[in-house]
Amino acid sequence: MFFLYGYGGTGKIFMCKTLVVALRSKGDIVLTFASSGIASLLLPNGITAHSKFSIPVPTLENSTCNIHQGTKQATKLIIWDEALMAHKYCFEALDKTLNDNMCMSNSDYVPFGGKVVFFGVLKLTKNMCLQSNLTITNAQEIKRFSLWLIDVGDGKLGTSDDGLYV
**What residues does each domain of the chain span?**
2-122, 125-166
Q: How many CB atoms lie within 10 A of CB 127?
A: 11
- Work out the percent of the chain whose per-residue pLDDT is above 70: 81
Residue 58 confidence class, pLDDT cut points 50, 70, 90: confident
Q: Which CATH superfamily is domain 2-122 in?
A: P-loop containing nucleotide triphosphate hydrolases (3.40.50.300)
More confident residue, 105 or 37: 37
Residues 63, 93 contacting (CB under 8 angstroms): yes
* Adjacency order of strands within the sheet including 47-48: 2-6, 116-122, 77-81, 30-34, 47-48
pLDDT of residue 112: 87
Q: What is the pTM of this model?
A: 0.65
Mean pLDDT for 19-45 is: 85
